[in-house]
Structure 1
Amino acid sequence: MSKRIGKQTIKLNSKPKIITTTSVVGPKEGEGPFKDYFDIILQDDLDGKDSYEKAESSLLYRAVSETITKANLKEQDINYLVAGDLLNQLSASNFAARDMDIPFIGLYGACSTMTESLSVASMIMDGDFADYVVAATSSHFSSAERQFRFPLEMGSQRTPTAQWTVTGSGAMLLSKNGDYPYTTYVTIGKIKDYGKTDTNDMGSAMAPAAVDTIKQHFRDTGRTPQDYDLIATGDLGNFGKKVTQELLKEYNYDVSKNYIDCGDEIFDKEKQRTQCGGSGCGCSAAVACGYLYKEMLKGKFKKILLVSTGALMSPTTSLQGETIPGIAHAVSIEFGGN
C-alpha cells in the first residue's frame, strides 16, 4: 500500500516519535521572547572558539550531544544524523559530525533545513531503516553575514526589510516508541521563483514557496487550517508572514487565527532592532525544539504544521544577477487527541 497521499505528501503510518529535543541559542536570542524555552543560552557568540564558523559547529555539536544524553543514549546508539546548515560545503555540520561516532547524512535546504532534516529522518524511521535518528540544523549571525553579505567590520547599514540571522541550533531525536509528539505527514515542497533579486528582502522571496507547500498539504491530506492548533512558518519575518497570509486567502485558506512565523516571534523586533525579525536555519529549529515542543508536552498544542522556508541563492548567483529561488517543506507534528 502506497504511503503517498496526493501529489507531494507522505503519510507516516508508524508515527515516528520525537522523544527529546535541544535548543541552543546565542546571547541576543536568549534575550528575546522565548528565552525561557531555550535549553542552552550562550554567553559569548564565539562559544570560546577562535572563529564564528567554528562556533557554529560547536552549537550544532552541543545540540546533538545534549539531545542524545537526555535520552540516556550514546552516540553509537544513533543510526543516522541528518543535518545541514547555511555555510559552504555544509562546513558547520560536517565538522560537528567529524567529532561524533554517527553515520551522517548532510542536507542543504538553506533556512528550510530543519523541516528538510525532520522529513528525511521521519521517512527513514517510517521505512524501518533505523531505531534512532537525529534531525538537526544550525546557523550563526556572524558566519552567515560573512558568507552571504558583508563582513561585520564594514558596518553596512541594514534595510527595513532585512532579517537577523539567528545564532542557534536545534536537534530532535526520533524513535519508534514512547508517549511523545510524533510526525504524521511530510509534504515536500517545490522550488518557487517569482523573480525577486533583493537579498535584503528574503521574506517576500520565500513566501510563494511557503504558500505553495501549505496549499498542497491541505489539498493532499484533505485537512484545513482549522485542523491545526498552530501553523508555524520558518523565517519569513514580519513582512513575509503578511505576504503569505494574504496569498493563502487567494486559495480560500484563512490562517489568520492560528498562524505564526518563527522569525517574526523569536526577537522583540523593536527593542532588539532586528528589522523584520529572524532568519537562518537555526530560527525555526530553535523555536520548534524549544517553544513549540515544550508547549506540546504541556498540552497547549495538539497539532502543529511546521513549515520551514529557505532562500536558495548564493553569493555567486547573486553577483551573476540571478533571482532568489524559494523552497518550503512541511511536517505535521501531533501529540494526544484524535
Structure 2
Amino acid sequence: MTGNKAKNKLGKQTLLFSNRPIVASGGAIVGVKEGQGPLSKWFDMVLEEDTFGEKTWEKSESKMLKEAVKMAITRGSKKESDIEAILTGDLLNQLMSSAFMARDMQIPFIGLYGACSTMAESLLVGSVLIDGGYVNNIIAGASSHYCTAERQFRMPLEHGNQRPPSAQWTATAAGAILLEGNDGLRIGEEKPLIIDHNNGNPVTEKTVCVTHGTLGKIIDTGLKDVNQMGAAMAPAFVDTVLNHLEDTGRQLSDYDMVLSGDLGDVGKKIAIDLLADAGVPMKDLINIYDDCGVMIYEKEQDTHAGGSGCGCSASVFTGYVYKRMKKGELKRILLISTGALLSTISPGQGESIPGIAHAVCMETC
C-alpha cells in the first residue's frame, strides 16, 4: 500500500510553498579581505579588522553573526521580541558561533549544521515553518571566519602552511535574513519603504518570496583530499539542480540567476561539465549560472580557488543577490548552497568527503 502524496510536494525532493513566505530584510557583514573584493559596496558592513574588537576569533565570528541578525530585525521594522525563532549555523564544533549568539539574544533557537550549505538549509527549514503557519517571524542565517575554520579543520595560522592551488579561502562573513508570513501580499507586489539604506532616498521595493525548496541528498564520489572541496561538492550540486528542474518541470533558462554556494573555480568548472553532459545548454550555464565562492574575491587576492565557508553564500545572497531582487533587477533566482560534510577527525580515519546541496527558489513579480 502506498501513502497519499503530500499536497505541497513536487516530484521526489521539491517542496512547494503555497503561502510564499516573504524575505523581508537582511544583514550582511564581511571581513577585511572580503571588503576588498568585487562585491564590497553591496555588503552592509565591512570590518576594519577581523577580530571585531574581540579577544578570540570564535568570539569575533559570533559577534558578526549577532550583528547581522540584529541588522535584519531592525531593517524589517521588528523588535527582538517579535522574532519567534532563530535558525542559524556555522562550521565550528557544537555550532559555537550560533549557540553563543543565541544565548545572548534569548530568542528560541534551532541550530543547523549543513557545513557550507547551511544558508540554504536555514532558509528552507524556516520557510517550512512559516508556510505551515507555525510561526510568523523567523531569522535564517549562517556565518564563518577564516581564522576559526583554518585552525579547526586544517592548521593553526601560526604554522604558515602552504595551500595548494585547488584550496579555497574560508570567507570571514555572516548573513541573516528575516522571513515573514505572507499577510496577503501577492508575489511581486511592491512594498513601500521609507529610505534606501545606500543613499537615503525614498524608494519602493519589490516583494521577494520563497516559492520552492529542494532537499538535497548526500553524494559521495570517494574523494578524500581536503584541499579539493569544490570537486567533492560539485556532484551534489549537479544532482540537486537536475532533481529541482525535473520536479518543477523547469529549465535553467527559467531563472535569471542560479548560484552554487561555494564550489570555487575548480568545482564550478566541474559542475558546468557535468550539467552540460546531462543536457543543460551551455549558453544557459554561461549566462545564468555562477558561484558565490568565485564572485566574492578578485583573482588578484590570492585566494587560490576562491571562497568557501557558511558565510560565503550567506553574505553574497543577502548582500548582493537579494538587494538586486528588491530593485527588480532579478525576478527569479535559485540559491543552491553546497556543503562538504567532513568532520575534524574523519579525514584522519581515512573517510571520504560527503557532499550535500540544498536549493531555495525566490521570486518577485
TM-score category, normalised to shorter length: over 0.9
2: distance between equivalents of 1:319 and 1:5? 40
Superposition deviation, residue 72 in structure 1? 2.0
Q: Hey, what's the Cα distance between the residues in 1 that align with 2:137 and 2:277?
A: 41
Q: How many residues align?
A: 335
Name structure 2 gaps, 5 residues minimum. Answer: 1-5, 186-190, 192-206
Q: Distance in 2 between matches of 1:232 and 1:326?
A: 16
State the partner residue of 2:138: 133
User: 1:239 is aligned with what amino acid?
Assistant: V
Q: Which of these residues, 108, 113, 135, is aligned with residue 103 of structure 1?
A: 108
Q: What is the Cα deviation at residue 176 of structure 1? A: 2.0
SS for the counterpart of 1:135 is: strand
After superposition, the C-alpha distances for 1:113-145 in whole angstroms (9 at most, x for unaligned) are 000000000010100011101101000000000
Partner of 2:91: 86
Structure number, greater radius of gyration: 2
> Structure 2: which amino acid aligns with 1:110?
A
Deviation at 1:71, TM superposition (A): 1.6
Letter in 2 for 1:258: I
Q: TM-score, normalised by structure 2?
A: 0.91
Give the match for residue 337 of structure 2: 308
Paired position in structure 2 for 1:267: 297
CA apart distance, 1:248:
0.8
Deviation readout 1:26-46 (Å, 9 max, x if unpaired): 011001000000001111101
Q: Does 1:223 align with 2:223?
A: no
- Name 1:244's counterpart in structure 2: 271
Per-residue CA deviation, residues 43-87 of structure 1 (Å, 9 max, x unaligned), is 110100000011010011000011111122111100110010000
Determine if the alignment matches structure 1 residue 121 to structure 2 residue 123.
no
Aligned to 2:194: none
Q: How does 1:183-194 map to 2 (within 5 A)?
A: 183-194=210-221
Cα pair 1:147 1:315 within 8 Å, conserved: yes
Partners of 2:42 and 2:287 in 1: CA distance = 23
The aligned amino acid for 1:298 is K
TM-score normalised according to structure 1 size:
0.98
Does the Cα contact within 8 Å between 1:76 and 1:101 map onto a contact in 2?
no
Partner SS, residue 141 of structure 2: strand
Aligned pair partner of 1:42 in 41, 47, 62: 47
Distance in 1 between the 2:82 and 2:328 partners? 29
1:17 lines up with 2:46 in the alignment: no
**Residues in 1 aligned to 2:36 and 2:165: alpha-carbon distance in whole angstroms:** 21
Compute the displacement of 1:165 (Å): 0.2
Structure 1 CA distance for aligned equivalents of residues 278 and 249 of structure 2: 14
Structure 2: which amino acid aligns with 1:3?
A: N
> 1:72 aligned to 2:77?
yes
Aligned with 1:112 (options 112, 117, 120): 117
Root mean square deviation, CA, Å: 0.8
| One-letter amino acid matched to 1:264 | V
Q: Indicate yes or no: 2:327 matched with 1:298.
A: yes
Q: Is 1:232 matched up with 2:232?
A: no
Q: Give CA-to-partner distance per residue, 1:133-180, whole Å, 9 cap, x none.
A: 110100000000010000000000010000000000000001124542
